[in-house]
Structure formats: structure tokens, C-alpha cells
Amino acid sequence: MESNRAPNNQMALKGVVLVLALIAAGAFVLARGLDDEKDSTAVTTTQPTAEATMEPEEIPDPVETPADDGEPAATPAPLPDDGGETETTEPAPAVTQPPAPAPDEELECRDPSTIGVLVANGTDVSGAAGRLSGELNAANYVTLPPHNASPQTGSAFYYRAGYEVDAQCIARLLGESEKPLWPMPDPPPGGLTLESLGNAFILILIGPDSLAQRPG
């Protein structure tokens, strides 16, 4: 009886060992399978595909081309340059006429016999300069032979330096105080020369206005 029991015990022990070995092998295989699944999941979740991360390429809107109606396109105005220095041109100083004296202002006029006056006709009115010269001569002014001048747009009185008041005196005498008075330029106006001006201190240049229509 004991001899039969011993082999049975050995067989039972072998069966137990085999079962344990199978269980251990199954557990090992199961564990490896779980590890592989975790690794696969990690790779899938941490490495996004190129398709998911690529940003869509923006397509520019088509530019509308204006219809060619035969007219040139307008050129935009240039923007002002605030950063650089710009060259500015200063306007030439204007020649200002001295203010005319008030009608009741007393003028210190020199003796007319010491004042030479030249009258030049800048109009097509025949004899205008001669008639005005005669009128001044009658007032005791020293008149030079009258001259013709280039066409003028208006009458004016010109004076040499220091004779502005005397020009005002003559303008007031003639009732023409509103006419402009200017310093004598060099060369004289109206196409005249210094030689034709002679020793005249006052030049009266007649234009197409009341000075040309004075009676003789």
C-alpha cells in the first residue's frame, strides 16, 4: 500500500508544479501584453500625426482688377515728408508805398522854382505831357521838355532821394493825392534814361487815367 501511495504523491506533486508553472507563464504573458498596450497607447497619444498638427495654408483673396476704361489710373498724391528738411523759398520783400498825407496835413514844400519836374506821356493821348507841363510851369515849377514813355497802366509820381515831400506837394496841387508815389529807380521807369531825366527831381509818368485827360 505504501509503495502505491508514493508514486501517486509524486504525480500529484508534479501536477501541482505544472499548474503553478502554467499560471506563472500565463501571468507573465498577460503582464507583457498589458505593458505593450500601454506603450502603444503612449506613443499614440504623445506623437500627434502630421496631418493633425499641420496648419491650413491661407489662400490670399483674389485682387480685383479694375476694368480698363481707357483712362490712366490716378496717381496717389505724395505723402508729406515730416522727417526731412524741406527747402523753402522766401518771397521777395514787397515794395510798400509810403502813406499819403492827410488832406489837411501841412506839407513843408520847397520853393517850386528850385524843383525840376519831368512829365512823360505813357498813353496814346496826344499832348498829355505838354499840357501837364504847362500847368506846372504856371505854378512856377521848373519843367523839362516833355517826353514819351512806354505804355503805362496808371499814373505815378517818382522822386529822387530827399524829394518825397515835394512829390506830395505836386500831387496835392494837381488834386491827384491818391496816385502812387515811388522812389526813383535806376534806370528810371517808362523806358527813360538818366540822360533824359536830366536834373529833374520829380518824374510824373502819365497813365490812361485822369492825368491824361486834364484840360490844356
pLDDT in tens, 142-178: 999 999 999 999 999 999 999 999 999 999 999 999 9
Count of positions (residues) in the chain: 216
Higher local confidence (pLDDT), 9 or 148 = 148
Alpha-carbon distance values, 212 to 121, 176, 191, 204, 216 (Å): 8, 12, 18, 11, 11
Give the pLDDT confidence score for residue 157 in this predicted structure.
Answer: 99
**Looking at residue 98, what is its pLDDT?**
52
Work out the average pLDDT over 56-70.
55
Where do the domains of the chain lie? 112-213
Grid cell digits, residue 150: 512806354
Would you state the pLDDT for residue 9? 65
Type of residue numbered 164: E
How many separate helices (H) and strands (E) can be counted in the chain? 5, 6
Q: Rounded mean pLDDT of 192-199?
A: 95
Q: How far apart are CA 207 and CA 152, in angstroms?
A: 5
Q: Report residue 84 CA to chain centroid gap.
A: 13
Query: What is the value of pTM for the model shown?
Result: 0.54
Please state whether the peptide bond connecting residue 146 to the residue before it is cis, i.e. omega within 30 degrees of 0: no
pLDDT at 27: 72
Q: Indicate if the pLDDT at residue 92 is higher than 50.
A: no
- Residue 197: what are its φ and ψ, rounded to 5°? -70, -30
174 or 99: which carries more pLDDT confidence? 174
Say if domain 112-213 classifies as CATH 3.30.70.2390.
yes
Q: What is the pLDDT of residue 26?
A: 72
Mean pLDDT (whole number) for 119-142:
97
Average pLDDT, the chain: 77
Closest listed residue to residue 121, CA positions, set 144, 157, 148: 148
**SS3 at position 143:** strand
Q: What is the pLDDT of residue 155?
A: 98
> Cβ(210)–Cβ(156) under 8 Å?
no
Q: How far apart are CA 140 and CA 146, in angstroms?
A: 16
Is the predicted pLDDT of residue 214 greater than 80, yes or no?
yes
**pLDDT surpasses 70 at 196:** yes
